[in-house]
Amino acid sequence: MLILLIFDFDKDCTIRQSLFWICCFGLVLYSFILLISRLLNLAEFNDNVRDTISYCNKLNKTIKIEYLIHFIVCVLLLFSRNFLMFLSLAPLVAWHCYKYYKHHHYVDPIELYHSLKEHRKDGIISLIVLSIVLVWLIIKGTICNVNLLLYTKK
């Protein structure tokens, strides 16, 4: 029963729902790639960064894009009535909104060495949550597409 509730085996999957899952998957995948590149950049920082200001400006732009994508996907899931998936992503989006409004999301060139560990920890937690949502989207989108192929009227 729990599997039916989580993955919503619905025979009435439409092309619009299928496109919705593909779009959500694309957005989450893009955010996942941005997050991995941010974590790799933070790991490289200790080795060989000479110009911290341009480095931090580049990271701050990707962080804003990543937060915006998380918010858009969360709103799309809410409006499409996928409450379980929405609830799995909502705490991360709430944390990102809190950090954005308190201006704790910025990577400051002066405080970078002191806040590096915190930024890495936040990135790893985001990576875990996005991995779960990404796998969930793959499974749900695949089921929707298979049901669309199997149950379309000929």
Token pair, residue 130, equals 């996005």
Average pLDDT, integer, range 15-22 = 76
Structural domain contains residue 2:
no
Structural domain contains residue 24:
yes
- Which DSSP symbol is given to 9? -
Structural domain harbouring 111: 14-149
Q: Contact 105/99 with Cβ under 8 angstroms?
A: yes
Angle, vertex CA 94, rays to CA 118 and CA 44, nearest 5: 30
How much is the pLDDT for 29?
A: 87
Structural domain contains residue 65:
yes
Q: What is the model's pTM?
A: 0.75
51 vs 129 pLDDT, higher one: 129
Q: For the chain, how many residues are written? A: 154
Percent of the chain with pLDDT over 70: 82
Structural domain contains residue 135:
yes
Q: Contact 42/119 with Cβ under 8 angstroms?
A: yes
Number of domain units in the chain:
1
Note the helical H segments in 102-152: 112-151
Structural domain contains residue 33:
yes
Instruction: Point out the least confidently predicted range of 10-14, 20-24, 102-106.
Output: 10-14
User: What does the alpha-carbon distance between residue 118 and residue 104 come to, in Å, rounded to a whole number?
Assistant: 10
Structural domain contains residue 3:
no
Structural domain contains residue 69:
yes
pLDDT beyond 60 at 8: no
Confidence band, pLDDT 50/70/90 cuts, at residue 64: confident
127 vs 12 pLDDT, higher one: 127
How much is the pLDDT for 20?
A: 78
Structural domain contains residue 154:
no
